[in-house]
Structure 1
Amino acid sequence: MMINNIDHTISSSSSFNNCRLTAGCSGGSDVALARRRRAELRRSKVSVPSQGDESLIKRKRFETCENESTEFPQHSCVIGRRREMEDAVSVELGFVNDNNDNNSRKFDFYGVYDGHGGSRVANGCRERLHKVLAAEMAVGSGRVAGFDWETLMVESFEKMDEEVNELEFVGSVGSTATVVVVGEDVIVVANCGDSRAVLSRGGAAVPLSNDHKPDRPDELERIERSGGTVINWNGQRVMGVLATSRSIGDRHLNPYVIPKPEVTVNKREDGDEFMILASDGLWDVISNDLACHVVRKCIDGRISTCRRRSQQLNDNQYRMTNAATVLTELAMARGSKDNISVIVVNLKRLIRSHVR
């Protein structure tokens, strides 16, 4: 699978002003500020950073990634107001083809990883977690009753955690992980941290995961029972350090912060429209309902923000790219201060692509 990167300067987008109006941002001072930011971005724009020059990479403000295959979702990643991009995303279509009694089952993998303390654990999850899960599924393939999804996900996350914890730098580095596996008749979600997956079903937003925040009653009880504490230090944090109660890595916060995901298994229905996976940079400022409402308008062609930059993109592919881009721009306009990563999956499209 090839992924091409397309540069896009967020403040120069024609829809950015619409996003600002939607967020309630207007006025002469805002216009002047936007102009200064555009000038700064133009001065700092570079084409291809030299190898090892991380300072140039940090200047890259916006990145939209596209898969060139004929059936795929789109995702958009924004460094936002952070100094470093610590998010990572993974899209692996057909990462497992399970042959059971002459019936071929195809599964697609989507992951959003929100790193903290650096990007190395998030990047490691992007490169490895789907492979670890595929290996676990291969061991369990051929079962008449199907996969034991909770066991598969929990064991895969634990093995990923063991891998990264063998590295010296992981003591204070970690990453959340929200993973979704989509099959012909099932949607499996494994969530570890405060990234989130939301499904649009029959026009309604359906949460597929539950954020792991330190002040969530059951998480608070678990942390305190293991000997830890939650301290309000610029928000509720485990031991006054970490704003999520579950993650991969973070060896120094074990056993208070754990890598065990919560797993949900949902049967696919005819009313399933699309799915949104995103880091908390989006969900901190945009509700589930609003995100689904915006994506629906993009799919219907009523909101457009990015130009079609490749002749290989069909109309569906462009609209998925557009939906992810609009969400990231809207989150920026609403004041998100974090990295923002969004994947939009058109489930209606995937239903047709899975038919044999």
Structure 2
Amino acid sequence: MEEEARCFLGRFVDEFPAALEEGSPLPVSPLSCKVSLEELYGESLELGLRLLALRGAPPVLSALLCQAALSQLLQSDLSPFHCPQEAEANQEEQIVVLLHSEAVQRHFLNKLIDEALAWQQNFIKLPSSPSRFLQSSVHAIKNTRRKMEDKHLALAEFNQLFGIQDGVERAYYAVFDGHGGVDAATYAATHLHVVLSKQETLQGDTATAFKTAFKHTDDMFRGKAKRERLRSGTTGVAALIQGQELTVAWLGDSQAMLVREGQAVTLMEPHKPEREDEKQRIEDLGGCITFMGCWRVNGTYAVSRAIGDFDQKPYVSGDADCSTTQLFGDEDYLLLACDGFFDAVKPSAVPDLVLDALQQPGNSEEGGETQLKQSKEIIGRRVAQHLVSHAKEAGSSDNITVMVVFLRPPEQLLSQDSTTGTAQATQDSTSQNTPQQ
């Protein structure tokens, strides 16, 4: 990996031998035209990771470079990038300082270029990747929908990206299924993990940290939605693997499931309007559930919890649910997907579908090291692609996103016996309650 990192740094410094000049076009476009000080953290990291990924940077190096560049940015005087404050109709509202994204992100990218040059001139040994987070497989399609409104994030380098050095291995994975536009899904994919990283309860009470992070991200998006007159919403499911503990948090009907020794493990129950406790919660607030092709909240949204959808808050709740499961080393993989997958594929069918993908011709360990590495990458891609294709063939017309996080090498799964059926293991759960508004 170090040789790969050195080669990348050489190419990167050749492409960016000097700082980007004021007024010059950026090599990647920022997500927003204007950004608040709180949003700057997530949007800068997203921009930096995207730039480096497009150029083939090793993920660990990308995380370290972005973290260092962001630290430098946040220590800078950002006042030159402030937008003129507009007169507010309601003077009692707190004034939010906004920055011109293009200008401040040019400043950030210049910090990133400086960090890359420093690394090239004085190469630092890269930390080894956590052994458990071997491989993830992701595939997403627009399908027959007019727009793609799903977003996802796989971040095995959680600690490196946020400069966490407490000796506990962490990896973060998330899938967001937007509706009414992609803005809410993009926002959640950009900021939820950042907000989570700042929670003091992250290590001792991850469920509380997740719930707080979801709620705060919803509140942050409310500000952006008001400023930019956005009306979208998004469901989401996110997982944090922390040491020997897996915590899953969710809003709406995107789902996560675990497979242990070939058997599906139920981790959660999705939030749907027709779920009895969700129906009761909404009715207690004065709302109603009506059937219009599917069950909908007040005749509008087909989900009962989401980030965004502010025209139907609090009926569409922004409170996440969480479950925590201990990992014992016999887990095969974690799967996260949107409802475009789970509406067409039963969780009990997933283990056999994954084995089908792994057993396809061409998945061989024969050959040299380079060929073996390429073979493993192909295996990883095929698994998610096979699952998505099966969901489409089963009748799904929605956007489909599937993410498989292997907790042991995929090739090891081929040697175990597959147990078909609907067996569901019982999990150790430290938090499985439904928050109320």
TM-score normalised per structure 2:
0.59
Which one of the candidate residues 247, 253, 257 is aligned to 2:312?
Answer: 253
% identical equivalent positions: 29
Name the structure with the higher strand share: 1
1:110: how far off?
A: 0.3
1:349: how far off?
A: 4.1
Task: Extract structure 1 runs of 4+ deviating beyond 6 A.
Answer: none
Whose radius of gyration is greater, 1 or 2? Answer: 2
Cα RMSD, aligned residues only: 2.6
Change (3 A) 1:315 1:254: same
1:259: how far off?
A: 1.3
1:276: how far off?
A: 0.8
| 1:162 pairs with 2:219 | yes
SS in 1 for 2:135: coil
Structure 2 unmatched ranges of 5 or more: 1-28, 30-53, 60-128, 364-369, 411-437
Letter in 2 for 1:320: G
SS in 1 for 2:156: strand
Which one of the candidate residues 306, 317, 334 is aligned to 2:394?
Answer: 334
| Aligned counterparts, 1:162-311, within 5 A | 162-167=219-224, 168=226, 172-299=231-358, 301-302=359-360
Deviation by residue 1:197-218 (Cα, 9 ceiling, x = unmatched): 0110122111222110000001
| Aligned counterparts, 1:114-133, within 5 A | 114-133=177-196
8 Å contact from structure 2 (residues 183, 230) kept in 1: no
1:96 alignment counterpart:
159
Distance 2:217 2:312 in 1: 17
1:11 alignment counterpart:
none
SS in 1 for 2:178: strand
TM-score normalised per structure 1:
0.72
Distance 1:111 1:342 in 2: 10
Distance 1:170 1:212 in 2: 26
**Matched residues, number:** 274
Deviation by residue 1:7-44 (Cα, 9 ceiling, x = unmatched): xxxxxxxxxxxxxxxxxxxxxxxxxxxxxxxxxxxxxx
The structure, 1 or 2, with the larger RCO (C-alpha pairs under 8 Å, 6+ apart) is 1
8 Å contact from structure 1 (residues 193, 247) kept in 2: yes
1:303: how far off?
A: 6.7
Distance 1:90 1:130 in 2: 9
1:347 alignment counterpart:
407
Distance 2:349 2:390 in 1: 10
8 Å contact from structure 1 (residues 153, 190) kept in 2: yes
1:112: how far off?
A: 0.3
1:67: how far off?
A: 9.2
1:42 alignment counterpart:
none
1:314: how far off?
A: 3.7
Change (3 A) 1:183 1:75: same
Distance 2:337 2:380 in 1: 14
